[in-house]
Homo-oligomer: A and B are copies of this chain.
Amino acid sequence: MQKFSIPLPRVGNLPSGATDSITDIGAVTVGQFTLADGPLQTGVTVIKAHNESHWLHKVPAAATIFNGYGKSVGLMQVQELGVMETPVALTNTFSVSAVAHGQIEQAIIDHPSIGKEWTSVNPLVFECSDAHLNQMQALAVKPEHYRLALAATNKQFDQGAVGAGRGMSCYGLKGGVGSASRQARGELGYSVGALVLSNFGKPHQIQVPGYSGIAQRISAYLENKKSQRGQHTGPERGSIIIVLATDAPLDSRQLRRLSMRAVAGLARTGSMIGHGSGDIALAFSTAYTIPHHADEAMPTQGMLHEQKLDGLFEAAAEATEQAIWSSLWRAQTVWGRDDNVRFGIQEVLASIV
């Protein structure tokens, strides 16, 4: 387990799952491919909802777009049909096409009738721009990197400056991949896990719990660094992708409601959902699947009664906030293209606290 010189904030009142990560939920696994090579600081992160073919056994899902300044693909069909039919992939903005291409190739490998006798497949790829650290124009992520990340899916996975999070920035500091989980309030026995790709915010906005007024000091610290001077003005250019998993039996309408609550966790870290930020939450359930083929039986699982959702909503808000803090606390300083740098928050806090 990672040691923190400055303790990771522990937010909320609800208990965490065993690993305090999204893989606490059902059979969820995460895999990553990291590219860290001079001006290339980027990667791919993949989340699987279960261990079977997602195309044959579709996963109930829905999303909320808090701010649609983004280039993610696949959400239109998720919203129409209420399911996802591939794993969730995260990468940088200019690599969405390569990763979507990789998802199509993988689907054809798994099911040679796709796009021929059978219908096609809906790639589901989310992105944030890592242009500050990564030479994004190099289009360095290739379809095979998706397959490598997919092959690496596991219950255990790294957080911070890894996978799609390698080149991300958050509140002017180093952002990246973070995760957490919370058990729902009440007697439900269900949980919500969150995985975020954090890449949003300005230094003056961060609201670290227990460190009142820290935003001004972080801003001043960064402004005094020659490498950072003048970088943290101008409109927001970041993004955050939030993926929620739950083992509660929710239909897609309820999952959309759950995904909306991620914004509460996001806002509490200091975000006001900046103009240039693609802020999206996707939620899926591991409680049942929908068969692709019409001659297979539909699930008869009763859904959760609407009045029991509040406990899950609290868990979603807490898990999201915790995952963001985790992404920051676990991300170390990264130097990228053109001597650009983002400092890890621990290094910064150690200097100013």
Interface residues, chain A, CB within 8 Å of chain B? 13, 65-77, 79-82, 93-94, 96-98, 100-101, 104-105, 108, 114-116, 119-120, 122-123, 129, 131, 135-137, 139, 204-205, 207, 210, 212, 234-237, 251-253, 257, 260-261, 263-268, 271-276, 278, 290-291, 294, 296-310, 313-314, 316-317
Complex partner residue of A257 from B75, B80, B96, B237, CB under 8 angstroms: B80
Contact partners of A82 in chain B: CB under 8 A: 253
Separation in Å of the A70 CB from the closest CB of chain B?
Answer: 6
Q: Please, which residues of chain B bring their CB within 8 A of the CB of A290?
A: 306
**A212 vs B69: C-alpha distance when bound (angstroms):** 35
Task: Judge whether B204 and A13 touch: CB under 8 Å.
Answer: yes
**In the complex, what residue of chain B is closest to A309 when comparing beta carbons?**
B275
Q: Which of B93, B119, B291, B297 contacts A115 (CB 8 A)?
A: B93
Is B94 touching A97 in the complex (CB atoms < 8 A)? no
Q: Write the chain B residue with the least CB distance to A279.
A: B260
Once A210-B212, A275-B309 are accepted as A-B contacts, the answer to whether A122 and B294 lie under 8 Å apart by CB is no
Task: Evaluate contact between B251 and A261: CB separation under 8 angstroms.
Answer: no
Known: A76-B70, A116-B136. A313 touches B94 (CB 8 A): no
> Hey, which chain B residues are within 8 Å of A309, CB to CB?
235, 275
The one of B97, B237, B260 that contacts A67, using a Cβ cutoff of 8 Å: B260
Chain B hits for A275, CB < 8 A: 257, 306-307, 309-310, 313
Which of chain B's residues have a CB closer than 8 A to the CB of A104?
94, 97, 139
- A68-B76, A71-B76, A251-B253 known, 19 other contacts, Cβ within 8 Å: A65-B80, A69-B81, A70-B77, A73-B73, A80-B257, A97-B101, A97-B123, A101-B139, A104-B139, A115-B131, A116-B136, A120-B131, A236-B310, A252-B253, A261-B273, A263-B263, A267-B267, A291-B305, A298-B303
